[in-house]
Amino acid sequence: MNQKFINLAAIVAMGVCSCGGNKTSSKMEITKEPFGAHNGQQVDLYTLANGQGVKLKIATYGGTITELWTPDREGVAGNIALGFPSLDGYRSEAFLKSGPYFGALIGRYGNRIGNAKFTLNGVEYTLAANNGVNHLHGGINGFDKAVWSAEELREKDAVGLKLTYLSKDGEEGYPGNLNVEVTYWLTKNNELKIGYKATTDKLTHCNLTNHAYFNLSAGKAPDVLGHELLILADKYTAVDAGLIPVGLAEVAETPFDFRTPRAIGERIDDDSEQLKNGGGYDHNFVLRSGGGELSLAATVYEPASGRILEVYTTEPGVQFYSGNFLDGSLVGVDDVQYVKRYGFCLETQHFPDTPNQPDFPSTALSPGQTYTSETIYQFSTK
């Protein structure tokens, strides 16, 4: 076992993890099939399988993770990601109205920018306001609605998909032509690795992430409130009613203290102004690692299935969202109804509203620089 996972057991005191799976084949595979068309562009669906019971489906529309199958402790695979079986689900009126961003790549800026504005080098830029007066997840037509170019990747112990997209100068109000490359790798070690790169020809802001929703019970539980969560963060970004940061706050003696594993639902309805602002958890946690080096950020354990999700990232923050705005109006893969708190997100990122918060780690990207970021989702059981 890799040394980092040996160390993890001591950190979280959750016991020994063992990766189960339907080991009917050890062959790494990647296949492609049509998934429809969007604005005259063909959309493809790629399926990556690692021969260990893990299977990942990615659509070129939004670079979207549509399904993610992992084995439980008995070796029975189940879909742990929220998504739809067809492109129509991602373009339906109900989906666009509720805006959950299931499984999509998010850019240019993951999370919110206050008042949909920022200033760079004395120039004020006005962005698309798509979340009240604020800008959310790249705007009205962010990276989640783009059709990405795709290239299959293969290595000895992994299969992958490289997605590329050119975000043109002025798109959704952002300056500069931004060339973006995102790679998904599925490894023999049951890891989903996501690598991000971007370059620009004009000073801009860049903060990329993936908006996957997980339910580790694979549909066996009605919500994620029984999942046990660990986040390696001593602080979080406190927010106003519009979910724009107003400063950093200590997690100690608050419902935001996940420094030891706690059930998501244990304190989610506490009488806390911060929880009321988000309708539950919808907050950025300031990771102890500080970003830069690939480090453990969070661990989630689902007791009934035995599934464990470990999140590693080079980012300084992770947005924990407990699916508060899901309302049952969306029906996904296998006719699952996505009710309130049916899924959770752990979006690795820089902090919300950083362009307007000079004390936060910067998201500015200059010509000649390369934006890089990496996140690993590791799947196992106990």
Collapsing DSSP to helix, strand or coil, 116 comes out as helix
Q: Please check whether residue 338 is in contact with residue 224, taking contact to mean a CB–CB distance below 8 angstroms.
A: no
DSSP result, 28-91: -EEEEEEEEEETTEEEEEEEEE-SSS-EEEEETBTTEEEEEEEE-TTS-EEE-B---SSHHHHH
Is 211 catalytic? The answer is yes
- Rg for the chain (alpha carbons), in Å? 19
**Side chain identity at 199, as an amino acid letter?**
T
In the DSSP assignment, the letter for residue 115 is G
Catalytic residue among 135, 211, 283, 350: 211
- Residue 334's identity, in one-letter code, is D
What's the rounded Cα separation, in Å, for the pair 30 and 132?
41
135 classed as catalytic: no
Strand partners, 343: none
Consecutive H or E run containing 10: helix 3-12
336: tokens are 């699952």
301 vs 283: CA distance, rounded Å = 20
Catalytic residue among 67, 137, 347, 350: 347
Distance CA 194, CA 294 (A): 12
Q: Tell me the C-alpha distance between 260 and 326, whole Å.
A: 27
- Which residue has tokens 């998909």? 161
Catalytic residues: 211, 347
